[in-house]
Amino acid sequence: MSKLLQLIAAQPTQDGDGVKIHRLAGRALNQLLNPFLMIDEINSDDAADYIGGFPEHPHRGFDTITYMKAGRMRHRDHMGNEGIIAAGDLQWMTAGAGVLHSEMPEQEQGLLHGFQIWLNLPAAEKMKAAAYREILSADIAELQLEDGGLVRVIAGSVSIRNQLLRGPLPDMATDPVFIDVQLAANETIELSIDSKNKVFVYAYKGATNLIASRQMGIYTNGKSLELKAGSSGVQLLVLSGQPINEPVAQYGPFVMNTHEEIERAIKDFQNPEFLSGLRRNN
């Protein structure tokens, strides 16, 4: 059984064009969250907190994962991909050698709730061609629990009461696990992930008996993980992945292995010919 090692609180901050978020990230957390680099949550029904969105910006060297719980986000990138990520949908984008993209709210009022997660890539994959996947809510594996809870498996697999759920995404170098768990008041669940890696549990609404709202619990590896909701129920993200035992050099939207690679990324994205080349590849 996995054991709770540490608790970390998400910190309020802003990104994009003044979007208010809660964030788990930073150099001090790189090794703790490895292979994940950042977890951001947007959750507001005040348009002033999110309407500016995330205008066009570059990425290199990692995957970005956008998962919506409420509201809609319009995605555009230099490859010609465009679409709306609606409630329950997911966008999994591999920046690889380079992506220019924007994510803008597709609404001017109402609740906008979602997550952006950065997942590192090993050195051998950092400069591969950019790629994009859009997963609709209907394609995500779900299990309705007897006591009212719900489990959604987006990546990896999990066994619950002898029922195996497997996410719709293909195998990846870091073996990511991404599960969305909703539990009713005082409900208990045992997830058999059988992971050789640490498990990260983020309570984004309500609390468990061990994790408060907007806290990340870091658990040891183990064959199973037990979660118990508090008196008001809880909604959680459960993440895991194979750590990448390589140096991490980061500068804003670029995550590479060396400072020289970061300098190259900066020069590339300051080069009009490079940028026009990206856009020509639509």
Q: Domain with 220 in it: what CATH number?
A: 2.60.120.10
Residue 61, CA distances (Å) to 32, 118, 156, 169, 178 in order: 19, 10, 22, 19, 20
What pLDDT sits at residue 280?
62
What pLDDT sits at residue 156?
95
Instruction: Judge whether 39 lies within some domain.
Output: yes
Can you list the residues of the chain whose pLDDT is less than 70?
194, 277, 279-282
Instruction: Judge whether 232 lies within some domain.
Output: yes
Domain that holds residue 219: 4-240
Instruction: Judge whether 146 lies within some domain.
Output: yes
Instruction: Judge whether 276 lies within some domain.
Output: no
Instruction: Judge whether 272 lies within some domain.
Output: no
Instruction: Indicate the DSSP class of residue 207.
Output: E
Instruction: Judge whether 161 lies within some domain.
Output: yes
Instruction: Judge whether 278 lies within some domain.
Output: no
What pLDDT sits at residue 21?
98
State CA 67 to chain mean position distance: 7
pTM for the full model? 0.95
What pLDDT sits at residue 273?
79
Instruction: Judge whether 117 lies within some domain.
Output: yes
Count of structural domains within the chain: 1
Tell how strand 112-120 and strand 62-70 pair up.
Answer: antiparallel
Tell how strand 19-25 and strand 249-251 pair up.
Answer: unpaired
What pLDDT sits at residue 276?
74
